[in-house]
Chain A
Amino acid sequence: AQRVTQPEKLLSVFKGAPVELKCNYSYSGSPELFWYVQYSRQRLQLLLRHISRESIKGFTADLNKGETSFHLKKPFAQEEDSAMYYCALLNAGGTSYGKLTFGQGTILTVHP
């Protein structure tokens, strides 16, 4: 069964510091992974997906199949990055195709 683990429930950093939100997954096939973000009083929205290999709002995430990880990184955190972040894994086969499994979420707080 597929599983997504975000080991840190809370993460606090100061403005300008690097930040890394950890995500580990368990999946038997070729994984397709995403990061979603939920800012205060806003709806959950896609931040980035690993197949796009893009950088959004300064965030990047590299898929490491050897370590089964998809950590989200930003070299210099900003106060507006404070939000709830979810890592998600797409089920890409069988009768459950298209279902996303979410991790537990990490609340990031960036202090001034």
Chain B
Amino acid sequence: EADIYQTPRYLVIGTGKKITLECSQTMGHDKMYWYQQDPGMELHLIHYSYGVNSTEKGDLSSESTVSRIRTEHFPLTLESARPSHTSQYLCASSDLWTDPHGYTFGSGTRLTVV
């Protein structure tokens, strides 16, 4: 089934560890996004990509990095996790031609850094 998948759903990790949050979509969408969302709070765009080898910083500054080597895959990496990185991370995708105005969101990864 065409969808967008995020793994893991939950992650508890110690300070200083390197982590990668996975996001994959099987819809062939060209645009992909990462949002950060604290519980009950607004969504902040931290990274986006308009296609392979295209990545841009979002509106909220983040110490994370992203890559887009394949259309379907948009992982987010934290080289050294800190407690301030504790949050929920949402991945989304959209396609300009088939669904130009709607985003499809993943289920999110809830990250806790201890």
Q: Is A25 part of the contact surface with B, judged by Cβ < 8 Å?
A: no
| Chain B residues closer than 8 Å to A102, beta-carbon distance | 35, 42-43
Shortest Cβ distance from residue A30 to the other chain B in the assembled complex, whole angstroms: 13
Count chain A CB atoms within 10 A of each CB in B41, B48, B105, B106 and give the residue with the most: B105
Stretch at the interface among B12-20, B73-81, B96-104: B96-104
| Chain B residues closer than 8 Å to A98, beta-carbon distance | 31, 50, 94, 96, 100
Total interface residues in chain A, CB < 8 Å: 21
Count chain B CB atoms within 10 A of each CB in A44, A46, A49, A102 and give the residue with the most: A44
What is the interface of chain B mostly: helix, strand, loop, or mixed? strand
| Chain A residues closer than 8 Å to B31, beta-carbon distance | 98
A49 touches B102 (CB 8 A): yes
Q: Is A12 part of the contact surface with B, judged by Cβ < 8 Å?
A: no
| Chain A residues closer than 8 Å to B48, beta-carbon distance | 99
| Residue in A46, A84, A105 whose beta carbon sits within 8 Å of that of B103 in the complex | A46
B42 touches A46 (CB 8 A): no
Provide the A27-47 mask, 1 if CB < 8 A to any CB of B, else 0. Answer: 000001010100000011110
